[in-house]
Amino acid sequence: MRGNNMDKSEIQNRTKELLEKTEKPKEFTNGLQELLKSYVDIDATKNYPRIIPDTGKFFGVPLPILRVVAAEIGKFIRKEPTEALSLLETIWTEGSFEARQIAGKCLEKFGPKNPEICLDFVSSVLHDLDNWAVCDNLAMFGVEPIVYSNPELVLPLSENGIKSKNKWIRRFGVVTLRGYKKIQTTDARWIINDGMKKLPKEKQTEISAIISR
């Protein structure tokens, strides 16, 4: 149990060692699981399942540790963008709450310079969304940074999202609207208003709070 005494440099070094296995997906996945298991902190994460229902496969790794891992992976894919899609798919397919948090967070600085790769990945995993934390993480770090630099490229994804019958994809679409709110175009205001109308009334307050952050 190391979560409350996080050694950032150790996590960074171990993640760099893990990234040496990117060409062997099975070995990478096994290595990622071992890395996550070694930083389980039940006390620090005991409330996660209550706050985030439907977490599914869950190791119990604190979010600050996941952010360090994601930052190292983010650096790697920015240097090796041609390897990004396959690596992101490998991480996401591992299937745990932690792996999917990492996959979303590592896109934050990658997406604006590699929007097509990023959006291709995001689009391919939307039907796997099954809880609000992974959903919002993917929207805020995988899509929102691209909105600022290339809103028209993201527009179809946001529009299709808010029209979806799948509640998590619909939520994803609405959360991406945060970025449009900040750029304040006419299309953005229309998308936000239209998207909110498509939500059940009981969800509108919750999503309004997310958009206003």
CA distance 138 to 125: 10
User: What local confidence, expressed as pLDDT, does residue 204 receive?
Assistant: 60
Pair (66, 156) in one structural domain: no
User: Is 155 inside a domain boundary?
Assistant: yes
The CA–CA distances, whole Å, from 72 to 5, 34, 38, 53 equal 19, 17, 17, 28
Residue 129 lies in a domain: no
Q: How far is CA 35 from the centre of its chain?
A: 19
CA distance 138 to 103: 8
CA angle 44, 135, 152 (to 5 degrees): 140
What averages of pLDDT result for each successive group of 10 residues across the chain (213 residues)? 68 98 97 97 88 89 96 98 97 97 98 97 97 96 92 88 90 85 61 60 59 58
What pLDDT score was predicted for residue 12? Answer: 97
- What pLDDT was estimated at residue 3? 42
Q: Is residue 96 part of a domain?
A: yes
Is the domain of 74 the same as that of 147? no
Residues 2 and 59 in one domain: yes
Residue 69's domain comprises 1-106
pTM: 0.86
Question: Is residue 83 located within the same domain as residue 163?
Answer: no
